Amino acid sequence: MDLIGKVKDVESGTVIELLTTDEGSKNDVPDWLEEAGHELLSIEEEDDYWAIYVETA
């Protein structure tokens, strides 16, 4: 997952926008964020993708 690598490279409190066409990410990303201690800000469904917003811990 590209998100895992990205959160390691940014400062705490950074907001990351993840764009994905994988419907499974709607469930997988929030589960991983909870385990990793990051905060899910929102999931927005667009026409053909999802935008997932994350604040790093």
Q: Where residue 39 sits, what CATH number does that domain have?
A: 3.30.110.40
Give the per-residue pLDDT at 16: 96
User: Any idea how long the chain is?
Assistant: 57
The residue among 57, 30, 28, 34 whose CA lies nearest residue 42 is 30
Give the per-residue pLDDT at 3: 86
> Is the predicted pLDDT of residue 1 greater than 80, yes or no?
no
pLDDT tens-digit map of 3-43: 888 888 899 999 999 999 999 999 999 999 999 999 999 99
Our count of domains for the chain comes to 1
Range of the domain at 31: 2-55
Angle at 3 between CA 34 and CA 49, to 5 degrees: 95
pLDDT tens-digit map of 42-51: 999 999 999 9
